Copies of this chain bind each other. A is one copy, B any other.
Amino acid sequence: MREGPDIARIASLVGDPARANMLSALMGGTALTASELALEAGVSLPTASSHLSKLMEGGLLTLASQGRHRYYGLAGPQVAGMIEAITGVAEAVGPKRVRPGPRDAAMRVARVCYDHLAGEQAVAMLDRLVEKDILLRDEREIRLGPSAASHFSAIGIDVGPRPRRPVCRACLDWSVRRSHLAGTLGAAILDKILLEKWARREKDSRAIIFSPPGKQAFERLFLA
């Protein structure tokens, strides 16, 4: 008989299909309302509400009330990381699709991870930023390099006085199996990508589709 942290409790929260769908939906990073999540999970509103209170009680979600709307979001990056880890195993042991769908391929190239960009593009971007010494990476953390402030402010991203959240964080990419950039900077870059309409979010998916000119713009700024 073992003791220690109650991993069964946490895992069983993720282990219900409806809740798993909700959590997957929230991996997109945007907080959603109970009705949206009910739709996403394919269950009725009362059922969804019940699931949501369980996830709240389990500490996996945060809740932001705005008037008569209540927005649910993932409790934090650690929870997101856990979902990614589970996804990785599910992907690995799951029935190999004979032909990986186009959406699957798109997911590998670029997708939203909580609030920042993930996938091959994101991993490549971080590599390049480190190569150019704009960011400094060691085992422990990622830091801003000396030229970071000027580089990013030229692009229109402010990396100034830091809020509570760290500016840079490493986040392990489940498809590439290497780190990409998270933190406020990672979030800001994703914001910029969407704001400039370099890419759009695939409907009902975490995938990010770059338009041809958007891809050029992105690569010129971050992969050149």
CB contacts (< 8 Å) of A25 on chain B: these are: 2
Q: Do A12 and B15 form a contact, CB below 8 Å, given A5-B87, A78-B88, A88-B78? A: yes
How near does chain B come to A216, taking the closest CB pair, in angstroms?
Answer: 26
Q: Of residues A7, A8, A79, which shows the largest number of chain B Cβ atoms within 10 Å of its Cβ?
A: A7
CB contacts (< 8 Å) of A90 on chain B: these are: 5-7, 9-10
A42 to B19, CA, bound (A): 28
CB contacts (< 8 Å) of A86 on chain B: these are: 7, 10-11, 82, 85-86
A21 to B92, CA, bound (A): 23
Contact of A2 among B24, B59, B91, B127 (CB under 8 A): B24
Q: How many copies does the complex hold?
A: 2
How near does chain B come to A5, taking the closest CB pair, in angstroms?
Answer: 4
Whether the Cβ atoms of A1 and B94 lie closer than 8 Å is no
Contact of A11 among B20, B42, B88 (CB under 8 A): B20
Q: Of residues A20, A25, A59, which shows the largest number of chain B Cβ atoms within 10 Å of its Cβ?
A: A20
Instruction: Find residues 169-204 in chain A having any chain B CB closer than 8 Å to their own CB.
Output: 172, 178-179, 204
CB contacts (< 8 Å) of A4 on chain B: these are: 24, 87, 104
| Interface SS of A by simple majority | helix
A137 to B81, CA, bound (A): 23
Name A residues whose Cβ lies closer than 8 Å to a Cβ of B.
1-2, 4-17, 19-21, 23-25, 40-42, 58-60, 75, 78-79, 81-83, 85-94, 104, 127, 130, 137, 139-140, 172, 178-179, 204
Selected A-B contacts with CB under 8 Å, 27 pairs: A1-B42, A2-B25, A2-B41, A2-B204, A7-B14, A7-B20, A7-B24, A7-B90, A8-B15, A8-B16, A8-B20, A10-B90, A10-B93, A11-B14, A11-B86, A12-B14, A12-B15, A13-B15, A58-B93, A59-B89, A59-B93, A75-B93, A78-B89, A82-B85, A82-B86, A130-B139, A139-B178
Of all A-B residue pairs in the complex, the 8 with the closest CB atoms, nearest first, are: A12-B15, A59-B93, A15-B15, A8-B20, A11-B14, A5-B90, A85-B85, A11-B15
